[in-house]
Amino acid sequence: MAAPEQQAQDAETSQLWLLRFSNSLAPISALPPEILSLIFEFGQAIEQDDAQDSDQSEDSSLPTANLFEVLISHVSSHFRNVAISTHMLWASIDISPARSTEEIATYLSRSNGCQLFIRIDLDGELILSARTMAKIDMALHHLYRYHRLTIISGRESHGNYIMHRLSGLDAPTLEHLSIDICKDDAGLLASRDVGILREGAPRLSFVRLRGLAMSLFRPPLENVTTLHIDQTEPLPILFETFRRMVTASPHLANLSVYGDIINMQQTWPGSSNPVELRSLRQLRICGVGGMIYPGLLLGINAPGLRSLVLKDVQESDLQHIWMSPGYQELRFKFPLLRHLTFCDFEVSSEAYKNIFQVFPLITSFTTTHFTNIPRILLELAEPTSEMNNIPWPELHTLTFLLNLSDVDLIEDVIRGRQASGHPITRLRLGTAHSLSALQQYGWQRHNVVVEKFDRFDQWPSASYGIDSDWDDDLFN
């Protein structure tokens, strides 16, 4: 081939490569930047959810969740320009020993005034280095635009540094605060009841205090609607401290309690001096020693409670309730309770009969304990001599882990409830089988909607569509 022709062909090839690199030949390049920006934001959200669901490691919610915006900005110059100008792509910032100061500065700059989602993870950091402190201070300069702040520290001394930095500040846009302090440094416990954000956090509606944070730090709680108190370390609090925490906000609607919480030398007040929680709608309890279950259920007054989740209950824990002279009052204490969930435990037939009495108006029941035959099916299938003795006559939704050997029993329950005039209309089944494989069973013939139950329901139930709470892992 003649030199001029070769040069022309080489020039054409080079131009094609250049056009491909700039992506100007692809149809997506014709999309307005505003549309492409929205696509990027949706893509990032999907990537973050997938990273959490895959649970590839203990820290699966961290660095992988921040890769999408970096990758998409390296596809082409066009994508890069759109990605950099899409400020929300850079609003989630992880601060850890592995993250460089330059990266954090880049994210803070590119987020360009957007509300920030900050996660400070010092777990595994033996010594809080000057470099790490500088990164924390850099991020805290933007506290005025925080929407969400998560702090994880393996050592109390590291947590103290951050808390004392936060003590005299305000956070006008902060809505979500989660603090997890895992370990006391050689028994120091230098601080107790340290007030943080004392200048105010008027929009703070979600607070999680886990581990030592439950005992050490006090954020403003007066406007909180969702409160997690997680005693994952052996450091209880006084009952009066617990009372002050849960009654600080007249708007508290969702309360999650993990651990025994109060000092073993103290007792719960029972119904003689109940904790008034008039706005409470959803309650979760998981204990260790067991007294938290009767302590809370008998010791609070929550007439608006609609949903109760119990985890790891032992039969003996319930005996403390049944032996209490005021246990029958439970049906009057929680007159609106409709949704009941049992996580990872089963109870006896006698216990179920008591539960039917004290919580008579349940419409939705979930059990996540796998047994050969779920006890609830046996109880619901048991014939009754009187119509008004039907267990949970308002029950319409039943969720459990499916064992295919139970299909005849399930059929009996559905037929029996339908014949009694109190039909179950929705089955949510935990199974690896596809729904099409279950069509051979005749449940649908009885006007029953059959759905798969393949993940724990988000808590609180009204939180669908808001920011995912990736740290809510104690009840899974």
Q: How many residues does the chain have?
A: 476
Distance CA 101, CA 95 (A): 9
Angle of CA points 13, 14, 17, to nearest 5°: 90
Instruction: Give the DSSP H or E segment for 416.
Output: helix 407-420
Provide the pLDDT for residue 374: 83
Query: Is 356 inside any structural domain?
Result: no
State the pLDDT at residue 60: 42
Q: Which helix (H) or strand (E) holds 460?
A: none
Within a domain: 31: yes
Q: Which domain holds residue 418?
A: 363-460
The pLDDT value recorded for residue 86 is 92
Question: Tens-digit pLDDT profile for the chain (476 aa)?
Answer: 556 666 667 666 666 655 555 555 566 777 888 898 898 888 888 887 776 666 544 444 444 445 888 888 888 888 889 999 999 999 999 999 989 999 999 999 999 989 999 999 998 788 889 999 999 999 999 999 999 999 999 888 888 889 999 998 999 999 999 999 987 664 555 556 789 999 999 999 999 999 999 988 999 999 999 999 999 998 899 999 999 999 999 999 999 999 999 887 788 887 788 999 999 999 999 998 889 999 999 999 999 999 999 999 999 999 988 988 877 888 889 999 999 999 999 999 999 999 999 999 999 999 998 877 788 998 988 765 454 578 999 999 999 998 888 888 998 899 889 888 999 999 999 988 887 777 777 776 678 998 988 888 889 986 544 467 889 999 98
For residue 411, being part of any structural domain is answered with yes
> Which pLDDT score is estimated for 56?
41
* Domain boundary, last residue among 42, 58, 90: 90
pLDDT of 206 reads 98
- With respect to residue 51, please indicate whether it lies within any of the assigned structural domains: yes
| CB atoms closer than 10 angstroms to residue 446 | 14
Q: Considering the domain boundaries, does residue 36 fall inside one?
A: yes
H helices present in 292-395, as ranges: 292-299, 315-322, 330-333, 349-358, 375-381
Number of domains observed in the structure of the chain: 2
Position 335 scores a pLDDT of: 94
DSSP helix/strand/coil, 414: helix
* C-alpha to C-alpha distance for 382 and 389, rounded to whole angstroms: 11
**Any domain includes 294:** no
Q: What is the pLDDT of residue 186?
A: 46
CA distances (Å), 333 to each of 189, 218, 308, 330, 462, in order?
Answer: 39, 30, 13, 5, 23
Q: Across 176-332, where does the E strand assignment appear?
A: 176-181, 194-195, 206-211, 217-218, 226-230, 254-258, 275-276, 282-286, 300-301, 307-311
Domain-embedded: residue 98: no
Q: Is residue 466 part of a domain?
A: no
